[in-house]
């Protein structure tokens, strides 16, 4: 499963990938973190463009701070565009804890793995907060 990494999580995705590799998960399942610049998205892209790109390319958007106000806010886009087969948006509850607390980071990894393994159960869920 490919995760589209919100521009503010660039360094965090490296830590997540390292933790996935260290725990052996990457030997068992395919998880890849893809940065905006790798797919041609500008860091200034609005939430509607980002969400639509992720859906069109069967990617799960992973974020920490996408807006919840305005006509193109992530929350509004999900309300308008989400379908029963839409992939969810994964939101990390605390990026500070992700970096500072190994236990929190491990719980985030466990949730990501659960989501990938049971993606059918999460389709249409709109947003999933982790851990």
* Model pLDDT for residues 20-57, shown as the tens digit of each residue: 999 999 999 999 999 999 999 999 999 999 999 999 99
**Would you tell me the crossing angle of helices 10-22 and 102-117 to the nearest 10 degrees?**
80
What is the CB neighbour count within 10 angstroms for residue 96?
10
Domain 2-130, architecture per CATH:
3-Layer(aba) Sandwich (3.40)
On whether the CB atoms of residues 124 and 87 are closer than 8 A, the answer is: no
Domain boundaries, the chain: 2-130
Q: How far is CA 52 from CA 15, 55, 71, 120, in A?
A: 26, 5, 14, 19
* Model pLDDT for residues 74-125, shown as the tens digit of each residue: 999 999 999 999 999 999 999 999 999 999 999 999 999 999 999 999 999 9
Where residue 72 falls among pLDDT bands split at 50, 70, 90? confident
More confident residue, 110 or 67: 110
The Cα 53–Cα 110 span in angstroms is 26
Task: Give the rounded distance of the alpha carbon of 19 from its chain centre.
Answer: 16
């Amino acid at each position: 499963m490919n995760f589209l990494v919100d521009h503010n999580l660039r360094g965090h995705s490296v830590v997540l990938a390292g933790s996935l590799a260290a725990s052996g998960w990457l030997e068992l399942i395919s998880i890849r973190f893809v940065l905006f610049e790798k797919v041609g998205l500008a860091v200034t892209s609005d939430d509607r463009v980002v969400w639509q790109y992720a859906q069109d390319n069967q990617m799960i958007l992973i974020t920490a701070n996408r807006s919840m106000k305005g006509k193109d806010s992530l929350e509004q886009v999900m309300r308008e565009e989400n379908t029963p087969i839409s992939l969810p948006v994964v939101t990390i509850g605390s990026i500070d804890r992700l970096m500072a607390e190994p236990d929190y980071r491990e719980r985030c990894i466990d949730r990501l793995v659960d989501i990938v393994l049971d993606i059918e159960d999460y389709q249409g869920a709109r947003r999933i907060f982790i851990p």
